[in-house]
């Protein structure tokens, strides 16, 4: 090696994602975080609002800047999390206890701000209300598979992703009412229908496997109005005494002639395998207890 041209010591550039806020400086001058940096470069970083570091309890997290510095050995040194610092969605921020819900068909008006994961699905060409859904990550909507087909009660004529549109932080089940700046109108890149061990066939197999995911072209912007729901883990067990909540902008009438989307957000409490459901043989004879339970008629797609 030619000692007259020594290799300059530096550290690799810093990669970060949309969940992080990061600032890089050399000699107290802010610079691009994507370059390689000379010894002494300082990197300050923290999770953005609505995110917390992975492995940290929401109640224990303090939103402070962490700092790492480029060393002579070409490595970063400082807070132990860096450069493997990873931020995840802070689900604890939006936990809703039953006591906060005032109490959809037969329901009462509730505050949609308590349910920032709600989504409304429309048909693009005529802006017709199709279904509700649940934001479960920044780019995925959970809904019912039957909401992704044009033919009611069948698995025929599936919608293509470009034919549907999702509105987050909706204020109504009527498309034209969702004009507030807080609402996010997003298009789809993919429709994923459940097909593990079976697939949705509509009425033919009693609406089994009625689950679908809608992937957004662009990720949702998380804020106080838009935030993913926390999914249950594999150990959560649904019991017959567990009170569950259903909310949405769907129909508030059981009569076909009066079916239309609501411009107000309704919610109701339901019980798994409620007496109303179990007393109807047309329903109970079609339920697979290994993967389904009975409540009452509710808005399709909504949680």
- Cβ atoms of 292 and 130 closer than 8 Å: no
pLDDT tens per residue, range 272-291? 777 777 777 766 677 776 66
Dihedral, CA of residue 35, residue 39, residue 41 and residue 47, to nearest 10: 80
- 303/298 Cα distance (integer angstroms): 9
- Residues found in the chain: 303
Q: Which residue in 32, 16, 35, 13 sits closest to 24, CA to CA?
A: 32
Give the residue-averaged pLDDT of 208-228.
Answer: 91
- Cβ atoms of 217 and 259 closer than 8 Å: no
Average the pLDDT over each of 15-29, 133-147, 244-258 and give the range with the smallest value.
244-258
Six token digits for residue 19 = 């969940």
Q: Residue 28: what pLDDT?
A: 83
Percent of the chain with pLDDT over 90: 19
pTM value? 0.68
pLDDT tens per residue, range 225-237? 999 988 776 666 6
Give the residue-averaged pLDDT of 151-159.
Answer: 82
Q: Residue 98: what pLDDT?
A: 40
pLDDT tens per residue, range 66-92? 888 888 888 888 755 555 677 877 766
State the residue for tokens 């990197």. 43
Please report which confidence band the pLDDT of residue 95 belongs to, taking 50, 70 and 90 as the band edges. Answer: very low
The sign one gets for the Cα dihedral 126, 128, 133, 135 is: positive
- Cβ atoms of 243 and 148 closer than 8 Å: no
pLDDT at 294 over 50: yes
- Cβ atoms of 135 and 141 closer than 8 Å: yes
């Amino acid at each position: 090696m030619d000692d007259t041209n020594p290799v300059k010591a530096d550290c690799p550039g810093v990669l970060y994602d949309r969940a992080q806020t990061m600032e890089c400086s050399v000699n107290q001058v802010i610079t691009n975080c994507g370059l390689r940096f000379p010894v002494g470069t300082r990197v300050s970083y923290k999770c953005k609002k609505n995110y917390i570091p992975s492995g940290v309890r929401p109640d224990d997290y303090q939103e402070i800047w962490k700092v790492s510095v480029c060393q002579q050995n070409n490595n970063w040194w400082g807070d132990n999390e860096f450069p493997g610092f990873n931020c995840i969605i802070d689900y604890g921020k939006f936990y809703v206890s039953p006591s906060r819900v005032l109490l959809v068909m037969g329901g009462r008006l509730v505050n949609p701000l308590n349910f920032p994961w709600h989504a409304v699905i429309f048909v693009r060409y005529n802006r017709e209300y199709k279904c509700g859904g649940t934001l479960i990550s920044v780019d995925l909507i959970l809904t019912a598979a039957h909401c992704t087909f044009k033919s009611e009660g069948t698995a025929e004529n599936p919608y293509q992703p470009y034919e549907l549109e999702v509105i987050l932080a909706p204020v109504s089940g009527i498309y034209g009412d969702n004009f507030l700046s807080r609402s996010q109108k997003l298009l789809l890149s993919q429709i994923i229908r459940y097909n593990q061990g079976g697939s949705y066939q509509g009425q033919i197999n009693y609406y089994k496997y009625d689950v679908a995911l809608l992937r957004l072209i662009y990720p949702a912007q998380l804020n106080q109005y838009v935030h993913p729901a926390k999914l249950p883990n594999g150990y959560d067990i649904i019991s017959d005494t567990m009170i569950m909540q259903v909310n949405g902008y769907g129909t508030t009438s059981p009569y076909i002639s009066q079916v239309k989307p609501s411009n107000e957000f309704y919610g109701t409490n339901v019980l798994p395998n409620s007496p109303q459901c179990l007393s109807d043989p047309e329903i109970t004879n079609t339920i697979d207890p290994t993967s389904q339970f009975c409540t009452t008629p509710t808005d399709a797609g909504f949680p």
